[in-house]
């Protein structure tokens, strides 16, 4: 498949790294290239996939000017639009994982005329402060243990050897991402070439800018209901980081949405349910709802 890579420069001067795969008429934007490129590139061929890294993350420019980071997820929305304009397409489809699933809906709310189909995978919920009942979350002992170890690793980051830091960080994250610890090794190659300082600065940006910008959102149901684009939510029932209840809520709030549940999977459900996840995405991008996609009437 044809491929290329380069940089898109935003209006405020930040360079965003991108990689393209395929040459089809349908364009799909996939933020978080450093994480998703290896596993998702096979969706190309009949489509043009544009993977890119967000500002201050992955292989995009490191940003030291706080004014170009302080808007958090709202910068990410504008950067997605910058990528669309660069490639000169009037309508883009978006695959957003985790916080970027939420970001994709914010994009559709602001740029409705340019939003095609949206796939949310393991998306953060509409209201990150909402507490869901136990059967709609998976806040287990693994989450507590790994979160504690991640905090300890970050505190020791300055004294850690760069390669050893990256190895420990990826090992911990992989455990969080899967339901079965034995599957952690299948999360291979993820962010393998991102240096230590970028990992640390990215997590700092998350804590100081992105998460606060998300927590300050107040998405009214009537505003979300104005999103006309079709949305497919794909979510692991055992997701520790983004509660399964959030996916049900998105599918209930959005007027043209369906939910595909991957029962024995966590935050990266394509690792433990690849056929279901990638098959559902292909069917949806081709214009149909995949088999088993649920029209959610009740979050519970």
Same domain, 128 and 251: yes
269-294: average pLDDT: 97
Statement to judge: residues 162 and 103 lie in one domain:
no
Note whether 181 and 250 are same-domain residues. Answer: no
Q: What are phi and psi of 277, to 5 degrees?
A: -70, -55
Of 257, 295, 260, the residue nearest 274 (C-alpha):
260
Q: Looking up tokens 């808007």, which residue turns up?
A: 71
Instruction: Return d(Cα 33, Cα 45) in angstroms, integer.
Output: 17
Q: What is the mean pLDDT of residues 64-83?
A: 96
**Among 95, 137, 35, which Cα is nearest to 232's?**
95
Query: Per the domain annotation, does 227 fall within a domain?
Result: yes
Tokens for 85, please give them: 């304009």
For residue 154, name the pLDDT band (cuts at 50, 70, 90).
confident
- Write down the pLDDT at residue 194: 67
pLDDT band at 44 (very low <50, low <70, confident <90, very high): confident
Q: Are residues 149 and 131 in the same domain?
A: no
- Contact indicator for 131, 299 with CB cutoff of 8 Å: no
Beta-sheet strand order (sheet of 231-236): 3-9, 15-21, 47-52, 26-31, 92-97, 115-121, 231-236, 257-262
**pLDDT for the residue numbered 191:** 55
Q: Does 292 map to a domain?
A: no
Q: How much is the pLDDT for 2?
A: 60
Task: For residue 1, name the pLDDT band (cuts at 50, 70, 90).
Answer: low
Q: Checking phi first, is residue 22 left (phi over 0); if not, alpha (psi -120 to 50) or beta?
A: left
Residue 135 has pLDDT above 60, yes or no: yes
Average pLDDT, the chain: 92
- Stretch 125-150: mean pLDDT: 90
Same domain, 40 and 176: no
- Structural domain total, the chain: 2
How many residues are there in the chain? 300
DSSP state of 85: H
What residue numbers bound the domain in which 36 lies? 3-136+214-285
pLDDT at position 56: 93
pLDDT recorded at residue 129? 87
pLDDT in tens, 208-239: 999 999 999 989 889 999 999 999 999 999 99
Q: 247-268: per-residue pLDDT in tens?
A: 999 999 999 999 999 999 999 9
Residue 154 shares a structural domain with residue 252: no
Same domain, 103 and 166: no
Mean per-residue pLDDT, 153-173: 80
């Amino acid at each position: 498949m044809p491929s290329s890579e380069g940089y898109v420069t935003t209006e405020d001067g930040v360079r965003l790294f991108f990689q393209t795969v395929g040459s089809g008429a349908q364009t799909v934007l996939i933020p978080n290239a450093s994480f998703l490129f290896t596993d998702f590139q096979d969706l190309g061929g009949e489509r043009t996939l544009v993977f890119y890294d967000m500002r201050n993350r992955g292989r995009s420019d490191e940003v030291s000017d706080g004014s170009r980071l302080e808007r958090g997820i709202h910068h990410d929305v504008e950067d997605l639009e910058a990528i669309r304009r660069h490639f000169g397409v009037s309508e883009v489809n978006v695959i957003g994982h985790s916080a970027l699933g939420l970001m994709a809906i914010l994009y559709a709310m602001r740029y409705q005329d340019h939003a095609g189909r949206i796939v949310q995978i393991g998306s953060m919920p509409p209201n990150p402060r909402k507490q869901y009942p136990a059967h709609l979350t998976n806040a287990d002992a693994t989450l507590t243990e790994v979160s504690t170890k991640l905090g300890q690793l970050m505190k020791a980051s300055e004294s850690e050897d760069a390669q050893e830091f990256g190895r420990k960080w990826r090992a911990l994250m992989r455990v969080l991402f899967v339901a079965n610890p034995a599957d952690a090794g299948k999360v291979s190659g993820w962010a393998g070439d991102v240096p230590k300082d970028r990992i640390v600065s990215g997590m700092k940006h998350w804590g100081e800018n992105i998460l606060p910008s998300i927590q300050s959102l107040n998405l009214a149901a009537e505003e979300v209901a104005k999103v006309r684009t079709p949305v497919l939510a794909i979510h692991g029932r055992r997701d520790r980081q983004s509660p399964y209840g959030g996916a049900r809520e998105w599918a209930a709030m959005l007027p043209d949405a369906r939910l595909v549940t991957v029962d024995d999977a966590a935050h990266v459900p394509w690792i433990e349910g690849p056929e279901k996840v990638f098959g559902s995405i292909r069917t949806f991008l081709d214009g149909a709802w995949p088999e088993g996609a649920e029209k959610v009437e009740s979050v519970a």
